[in-house]
Amino acid sequence: MAAEGAFSAYEQVIGETWKPFDRPVEYLLGRMAQRARHLQIVLQPMLDGRNERIQLGPPDW
């Protein structure tokens, strides 16, 4: 199979066996907190009962 050949070639070139990349949990939790803060800021006028137009665009992070 092609995948087995790729793993074998990786091991020969790099000198280590291939292992999948694991993103640290702290990074994911930080991103979730960042998105939650953004939503709270954007939606706060609606939650306060103010009738303002809410701009839902991409966050600036």
- Give residue-wise pLDDT tens across range 4-35: 888 888 889 989 888 888 778 888 888 888 88
Integer CA distances (angstroms), 36 to 12, 15, 31, 58, in order? 44, 42, 9, 13
- Around Cβ 34, how many Cβ atoms within 10 Å? 12
Residue type, 20: P
What is the mean predicted confidence (pLDDT) over 25-50? Answer: 84
Q: Is the pLDDT of residue 1 over 70?
A: no
Highest mean pLDDT among 4-8, 45-49, 53-57: 4-8
Tokens of 57: 């665009």
Three-class SS state of 31 = helix
Distance, CA of 11 to CA of 45 (rounded, Å) = 55
Q: Is the pLDDT of residue 55 over 70?
A: no
